[in-house]
């Protein structure tokens, strides 16, 4: 196989699967012809990459050219991914904030209010995500009854396998911790600390795997315009809660740092949490923009 054929076959994978099945072979041959059978020039690579990104956005419902229903679906699913990032960031903040009330003493009125706002924002976002999933249950039942399981089986089984591994690892870590003293459980035992970090990463992988399975399933469901409009509204409300989270966390960090400068002594963890919170906010706002743009036409279709 020539370099042009190899490059063409690789570039075709920049497009969504459904698009590749229909046009992939034709595009690969066109790339080979345009490059004279040799190595594909960078100009052609960039043009194909740009076109592939556009098709992927269209397939994800994140393009202005997408139908309103698909745009609402895509926006809501982007908010779902934002919530997954928020959940991971929230767990990290919780771990780095243990016993913060004792560290700051009585000077924590602002920190308490900010921390309460963070917890409330996470709770509201979780309830809205669950409510949005509940609205899709009738469509999910219909999808499974009509033979949809094979289309999502691989993702669901992968997420389930990760979950079982995480549960087994959790049991092992709890048993290990039972044989350690308090100092060893809090960092003195390097092996145990590394195992806990690995387990935390495995739990994050489980959450992301289930989110991916849920998103892949949701893209295949036949949802009525009224359901899509309701999910779009819930996505907008969830976005408001998700955006509150990084703001509340920032206020809490500043208040705690002012009252107890030495307490927040885990800069790497704080940087990761901040990046996740900001990423969640950016994703949610992008999803909300698409969901909001689709709402007027969905209302007319209700």
- Condensed to tens digits (0 to 9), the pLDDT of residues 62-102 reads 888 989 999 999 999 999 999 999 999 999 888 877 777 77
More confident residue, 127 or 10: 127
Can you tell me the distance from the alpha carbon of 290 to that of 288, in angstroms, rounded to the nearest whole number?
5
Residue 212: per-residue pLDDT: 96
Q: Which of the four pLDDT bands, split at 50, 70 and 90, describes residue 301?
A: low
Cβ-contact 221, 188 below 8 angstroms: no
Residue 3: per-residue pLDDT: 60
The CA–CA distances, whole Å, from 242 to 193, 283, 291 equal 30, 10, 15
The 10s digit of each residue's pLDDT in 112-152 is 898 899 999 999 999 999 999 999 999 999 999 999 999 99
The 10s digit of each residue's pLDDT in 14-67 is 998 889 889 888 888 888 888 776 778 888 889 999 999 999 988 888 888 989
Tokens of 56: 């992927």
Residue 238: per-residue pLDDT: 97
Whole-prediction pTM value?
Answer: 0.89
Going by C-beta distance under 8 Å and a sequence separation of 6 or more, which residues neighbour residue 27? 8, 11, 12, 15, 48
Residue 2: per-residue pLDDT: 61
Residue 94: per-residue pLDDT: 83
Tokens of 106: 């009585």
Cβ-contact 61, 72 below 8 angstroms: yes
Q: Which of the four pLDDT bands, split at 50, 70 and 90, describes residue 157?
A: very high
HSE on the CB side for 5, CA within 13 Å? Answer: 2
The 10s digit of each residue's pLDDT in 236-269 is 999 999 999 999 998 988 888 787 777 666 667 7
Residue 31: per-residue pLDDT: 84
Can you tell me the distance from the alpha carbon of 102 to that of 147, in angstroms, rounded to the nearest whole number?
56
Residue 98: per-residue pLDDT: 74
Taking residues 267-292, report their average pLDDT. Answer: 91
Cβ-contact 225, 295 below 8 angstroms: no
The angle formed by the CA atoms of residues 79, 81 and 86, to the nearest 5 degrees, is 90
Can you tell me the distance from the alpha carbon of 133 to that of 155, in angstroms, rounded to the nearest whole number?
17
User: Residue ranges of the domains in the chain?
Assistant: 3-59, 68-301
């Amino acid at each position: 196989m020539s370099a042009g054929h190899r490059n063409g076959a690789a570039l075709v994978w920049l497009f969504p699967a459904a698009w590749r099945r229909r046009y992939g072979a034709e595009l690969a041959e066109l790339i080979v012809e345009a490059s004279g059978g040799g190595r594909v020039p960078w100009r052609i690579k960039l043009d194909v990459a740009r076109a592939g990104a556009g098709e992927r956005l269209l397939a994800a419902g994140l393009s202005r050219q997408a139908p309103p229903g698909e745009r609402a679906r895509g926006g809501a699913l982007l908010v779902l991914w934002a919530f997954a990032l928020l959940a991971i960031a929230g767990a990290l903040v919780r771990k780095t904030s243990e016993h913060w009330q004792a560290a700051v003493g009585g000077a924590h009125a602002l920190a308490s209010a900010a921390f309460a706002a963070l917890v409330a924002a996470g709770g509201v976002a979780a309830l809205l995500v669950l409510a949005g999933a509940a609205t899709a249950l009738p469509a999910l039942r219909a999808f499974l009854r009509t033979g949809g399981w094979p289309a999502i089986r691989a993702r669901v089984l992968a997420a389930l396998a990760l979950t079982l591994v995480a549960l087994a690892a959790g049991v092992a870590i709890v048993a290990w911790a039972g044989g350690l003293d308090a100092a060893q459980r809090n960092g003195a035992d390097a092996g145990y600390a590394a195992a806990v970090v690995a387990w935390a990463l495995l739990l994050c992988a489980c959450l992301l795997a289930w989110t991916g399975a849920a998103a892949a399933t949701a893209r295949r469901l036949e949802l009525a315009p009224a359901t899509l409009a309701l999910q779009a509204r819930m996505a907008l409300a969830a976005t408001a809660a998700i955006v509150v989270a990084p703001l509340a966390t920032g206020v809490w960090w500043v208040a705690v740092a002012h009252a107890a400068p030495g307490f927040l002594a885990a800069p790497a963890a704080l940087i990761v949490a901040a990046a996740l919170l900001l990423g969640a906010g950016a994703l949610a706002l992008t999803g909300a923009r698409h969901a909001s743009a689709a709402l007027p036409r969905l209302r007319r279709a209700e």
